[in-house]
Homo-oligomer: A and B are copies of this chain.
């Protein structure tokens, strides 16, 4: 229509000026290369074979294997966790004690990172007061002169009062102002206190979103019903869709032993891979669970091995004095890490990849030409008919040009 308009418009003014005609010719004259057909099976075969290889790469590798025609988006996710189980401890210096979720899960909220207490050094009844330092070469003393008042050793446990006190019947150490009695963390049980924790289970609820594709998924799949959920337990072989995990199973899948790990603690990753292929003919979007130990277990540069932290419960004595029970808590921190990329057919990546392939296809004639003009027996014949050299004297040659045309 536009072209029609231009033509009519040009026709109207063509009598006065010839420039419009020139413009029309410039825009709409079609210039096409003159070609030579070489009816050689060998040449043709080489040409088609290379074309076939390029097409194979595009269809086979780029589209099927790499799915490069897809747009991608990163996952955003929310996790809630809920641990179930209880345990008893019966250690010599503690009475028989019952532990439930509120005691051993820290923080209690069931976030994507939760800490399962498995071992413990407890120092009850600490108050702000004075006591003798733990004995080591820099704290032992003979008399008060060895203890400078107000000295504050960064590796010690408090500020020195200037007195030298009996730590035990045999050792005297400098007295410090601190939370007393001091923690004696060499008392850590050799066998984990809450060894029974290996039988606890954790329910992981995970919902994800791919905002670009407006996809919302949950790790409790639609075909799962409540009665199954009440009884199932994750197992890679028999129950790969069950979102309830026994802690021992998680740790053993990560290649560790629960009882070993429970003594000094550690960090264990529960990795949920939500890589999705959202093309309508694929439509696969299931979570895949893997488990890995995440903290440093390298024996050579392993400072502060395992995983532990200190926290305290604060009390008030009947007299109103503040008192605390200090816990050095060892245990396994479980980090639920959700990752993944969704891919879906996208017009831009498709165009880009097909375009790149076409570029390579446009190289094929160059290769074929090179092959013809160097490797074939008749290369001189081909070359003579394909390639013309510029003739410098145009006036005289123009007649022979038409002669050449005539022989075709």
Q: How far is the CA of A394 from the CA of B178 in the complex (A)?
A: 108
Describe A's contact surface by its main secondary structure. Answer: mixed
- Contacts of A393 on B, CB cut-off 8 Å? 407
Indicate how many identical chains form the complex: 3
Q: Which residues of B contact A283 (CB under 8 A)?
A: none
From residue 1 to 58 of chain A, which have CB atoms closer than 8 A to chain B? Answer: 3, 7, 24-25, 27-41, 43-45, 47-48, 57
Q: How far is the CB of A404 from chain B (nearest CB, A)?
A: 6
Chain B residues with CB below 8 A from A40, complex form: 28, 30
A247 to B46, alpha carbons, bound, how many Å? 69
- Give 1 or 0 for each of A214-249: 1 = CB within 8 Å of chain B CB: 001010111011100110000000000000000000
Minimum CB–CB distance for A251 against chain B, Å: 16
Q: How far is the CA of A86 from the CA of B157 in the complex (A)?
A: 8
Residue in B closest to A106 when the chains form the complex, CB atoms: B109
Name 28 A/B residue pairs within 8 A (Cβ), A-sorted. Answer: A3-B41, A24-B41, A28-B48, A30-B39, A31-B35, A36-B388, A36-B390, A39-B390, A66-B348, A74-B339, A80-B295, A80-B307, A86-B157, A97-B128, A100-B178, A108-B309, A110-B309, A315-B315, A318-B318, A358-B362, A358-B363, A359-B362, A378-B394, A381-B392, A389-B405, A389-B408, A399-B402, A401-B401
Chain B nearest CB: distance from A154 CB in Å?
Answer: 7
Q: A312 interface residue, CB < 8 Å from B?
A: yes
Evaluate whether A311 and B386 lie within 8 angstroms (CB atoms) in the complex, with A62-B351, A273-B211, A351-B62 already known: no
Find the B residue at minimum CB distance from A81. B309
Any chain B CB within 8 A of the CB of A369? yes
A353 to chain B, nearest CB (A): 6
Q: A337 CA to B408 CA in the complex, in Å? A: 71
Of A134-142, A185-193, A255-263, A298-306, the segment with at least 4 beta carbons within 8 Å of chain B is: A298-306
Contact A61 B303 (CB under 8 A): no
A368 beta carbon closer than 8 Å to chain B: yes
Mask of A321-356 contacts with B, CB within 8 angstroms, 1/0: 001101100000101010100000001100111111
**Is there contact, CB below 8 Å, between B348 and A205?**
no
Proximity string of chain A (381-397) to chain B, C-beta cutoff 8 Å, 1 when within and 0 when not: 11011111111111001
- Additional 10 contacts, C-beta under 8 A, given A98-B159, A316-B323: A24-B41, A34-B34, A78-B294, A86-B157, A101-B310, A216-B292, A221-B301, A225-B300, A385-B390, A388-B408
Q: Name the residue on B nearest A390 (C-beta).
A: B38
Is A252 among interface residues, defined by CB-CB distance under 8 A?
no
Q: Contact check: which of B35, B111, B401 meets A405 at CB < 8 Å?
A: B401
In the assembled complex, A96 has its CB within 8 A of some CB on chain B = yes
Neighbouring B residues of A287 by C-beta, 8 Å: none
Chain B residues with CB below 8 A from A279, complex form: none
Contacts of A97 in B (CB 8 A): 128
Cβ of A301 and Cβ of B78 under 8 Å apart? no
Distance in angstroms from A386 CB to nearest chain B CB is 6
Bound CA–CA A41/B21 (angstroms): 12
Closest 3 CB pairs of A and B: A355-B356, A28-B44, A108-B311
Determine if A388 and B33 form an interchain contact, defined as CB atoms under 8 angstroms apart. Answer: no
Q: A237 to B364, alpha carbons, bound, how many Å?
A: 54
* Docked-complex contact A102 and B363, CB < 8 angstroms: no
Q: Which residues of B contact A339 (CB under 8 A)?
A: 74, 76, 211
Complex-state Cα separation, A355 to B351, whole angstroms: 10
Pick from B80, B98, B221, B298: contact of A158, CB under 8 Å: B98
